[in-house]
């Protein structure tokens, strides 16, 4: 199994049943997959990459986390507002500028406005999210499923579920190997306390190792 979760940042890990102690359940292997390169899939995304390289003073690369995360959503909106100034909603933009670390939340809150830059920013971010999840599935081939976690999932599930969603369209758009992904189940995790649940599992395992 594989987990990919966007929230404050972008996390990726894979899980396997322990061969030494199957009754112990899954062992989790973390990664820094959120820091792989952002790979544009359109001319607009190429421009986004160039914008972010300039913003973050990078000569050769920008991590996908700069696009797929709460702050990433803010980065995408900021780019679109810079490119399409005539389409900026002045009221929303004023809220965005005042929001500090919560700028992504302002974009997400207003993403339902049809034809808006906020809607476009959400679609672009979620499409990149789906593309990265598909890439993770190709790397690990998790026949037990890929689990889409993180704070962005329950808050924006309407952009993730459904065959026509920007997430799943990008997830399955892998050229010649796209059919491989048909064998990999995709699950959206709606619980927002899985970090605490994971900590509980680790604590219980540690407790049992000391007591037994």
pLDDT per position as a tens digit, 7-22: 999 999 999 987 777 7
Residue 43: per-residue pLDDT: 98
Q: Which residue's structure tokens are 């965005």?
A: 96
Determine the distance from the C-alpha atom of residue 42 to the mean position of all C-alpha atoms in its chain, rounded to a whole number. 18
Q: Domains of the chain by range and CATH?
A: 2-211 (3.40.367.20)
Range 131-148 average pLDDT: 97
Residue 209 scores a pLDDT above 80: no
pLDDT tier at 210, thresholds 50, 70, 90: confident
pLDDT tier at 98, thresholds 50, 70, 90: very high
pLDDT tier at 140, thresholds 50, 70, 90: very high
Range 41-56 average pLDDT: 98
Q: Which residue's structure tokens are 């991590």?
A: 63
| CA–CA dist 2, 209 (Å, integer) | 26
The Cα-based distances of 173 to 15, 78, 178 in angstroms read: 24, 27, 6
Residue 20: per-residue pLDDT: 75
| CA–CA dist 85, 89 (Å, integer) | 9
pLDDT per position as a tens digit, 158-204: 999 998 999 999 999 999 999 999 999 999 999 988 888 888 888 88
pLDDT tier at 126, thresholds 50, 70, 90: very high
């Amino acid at each position: 199994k594989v987990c990919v979760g966007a929230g404050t940042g972008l996390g990726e890990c894979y899980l396997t049943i322990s061969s030494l102690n199957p009754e112990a359940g899954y062992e989790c292997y973390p990664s820094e997959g959120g820091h792989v390169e952002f790979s544009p899939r359109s001319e607009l995304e190429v421009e986004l990459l160039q914008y972010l390289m300039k913003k973050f003073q990078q000569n050769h690369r920008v991590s996908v986390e700069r696009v797929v995360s709460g702050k990433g959503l803010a980065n995408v909106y900021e780019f679109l507002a810079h490119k399409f100034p005539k389409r900026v909603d002045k009221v929303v933009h004023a809220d965005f500028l005042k929001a500090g670390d919560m700028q992504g939340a302002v974009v997400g809150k207003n993403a339902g406005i049809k034809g808006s830059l906020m809607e476009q920013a959400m679609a672009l971010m979620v499409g990149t999210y789906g593309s990265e999840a598909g890439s993770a599935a190709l790397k690990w081939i998790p026949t037990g499923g890929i689990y889409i976690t993180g704070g962005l999932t329950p808050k924006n599930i309407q952009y993730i579920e459904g065959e026509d969603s920007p997430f799943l369209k990008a997830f399955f758009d892998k050229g010649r190997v796209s059919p491989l992904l048909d064998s990999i189940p995709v699950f959206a995790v709606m619980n927002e306390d899985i970090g605490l649940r994971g900590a509980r599992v680790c604590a219980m395992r540690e407790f049992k190792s000391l007591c037994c």
